[in-house]
Structure 1
Amino acid sequence: MADIREEGFHPAVCFEKWKVAVFNSASVWEEENLSYLQKHDLSDEVFVLLEGECTLILSGEEVPRKLYAVRLEKGKVYNVPKGMWHSHVLGKKTKVIVVENSDTVPENSPKVPLPCPVRLAEMEYREK
């Protein structure tokens, strides 16, 4: 059993075609420090909030210009389809489980700068 408490993204279990990671609060994912969106070309990505606060920042556009937010609820499963631009804002003392293909790496997960600053209080919120 993995009990990962260090900040950041930490793969905990890899098996054949999938991996499970623990994603803990880190300053890079605080609202004022968020700087990029990412997409995964080969994998959906699943998020399950265990504790704290996490908001997904999403864009359904091929070239992201407009962003919207989804506030995760504890224990619910959220799927970000492959090819969708996304990022996340993590509150203090947040822990999220992430599931994705085991071959998800920077080479198939491009990043782009945010098209605008993220201000959660001003964003459009959706259910998913």
Structure 2
Amino acid sequence: MNIAVYEFAGEGMQRVFENEKWTVGIKNWKPANDVTGIDCLERHNKTDELFVLVEGACTLVYANEEKNGLVFGAVHMQPNKVYNIPAALWHNTITRKGTKMILIEDSNTSMNNSDILELKEEQIAELRSLA
């Protein structure tokens, strides 16, 4: 038996380890996660998702559904802290070039139990102001 080592240096996210219970991914900056590229939120309806900022800068943006529409919020991540995105919370990451994060989630998380919400221009502007 040996110790396995995983890495990913490309743009975006790649799952680097997966078993029947959980997945670990490395998420790096990509244009769609830049403050100029953000245009949607996602949610995982059945599973939480964890992020750890390793290097760079990331703002976790999120939205709660209320009677009058979405209410946006943001958390500016600090390195080496674990951030939990609860199941069903609309969210996305806004990153800068050079950002690297670790992502941990249930191995059953997929687009079959997740949703994407395309944002309107005024919503995008609000998220950009929070970042």
Distance in 2, Cα, partners of 1:84 & 1:74: 22
- Letter in structure 2 aligned against 1:57: V
From the superposition, tell whether residues 44 and 92 of structure 1 become closer, same or farther in structure 2 (CA, over 3 Å): same
Q: How many angstroms does 1:11 deviate by? A: 0.2
The answer to whether the Cα contact below 8 Å between 2:60 and 2:93 also exists between their aligned partners in 1 is: yes
- What RMSD, in angstroms, separates the aligned Cα atoms of the two structures? 1.8
Q: Deviations over 1:32-82 (max 9, x none)?
A: 111111000111000000000010001122685221110000000000000
From the superposition, tell whether residues 19 and 118 of structure 1 become closer, same or farther in structure 2 (CA, over 3 Å): farther
From the superposition, tell whether residues 52 and 18 of structure 1 become closer, same or farther in structure 2 (CA, over 3 Å): same
Please, which of 35, 39, 43 is the counterpart of residue 35 of structure 1?
Answer: 39
The answer to whether the Cα contact below 8 Å between 1:9 and 1:21 also exists between their aligned partners in 2 is: yes
Distance in 1, Cα, partners of 2:44 & 2:127: 23
The answer to whether the Cα contact below 8 Å between 1:57 and 1:87 also exists between their aligned partners in 2 is: yes
From the superposition, tell whether residues 111 and 96 of structure 1 become closer, same or farther in structure 2 (CA, over 3 Å): same
Please, which of 39, 51, 54 is the counterpart of residue 47 of structure 1?
Answer: 51
Distance in 2, Cα, partners of 1:114 & 1:34: 9
Give aligned pairs, total.
124
Task: Find the counterpart in structure 1 of residue 96 from structure 2.
Answer: 91
Task: Find the counterpart in structure 2 of residue 26 from structure 1.
Answer: 30
TM-score, normalised via structure 2 length? 0.87
The answer to whether the Cα contact below 8 Å between 1:31 and 1:119 also exists between their aligned partners in 2 is: no
The structure carrying a bigger strand percent of its residues is 2
- Consecutive unaligned residues of structure 2, counting only runs of 5 or more, are none
Please, which of 59, 75, 81 is the counterpart of residue 76 of structure 1?
Answer: 81
TM-score, normalised via structure 1 length? 0.89
The answer to whether the Cα contact below 8 Å between 2:38 and 2:94 also exists between their aligned partners in 1 is: yes
Task: Find the counterpart in structure 2 of residue 105 from structure 1.
Answer: 110
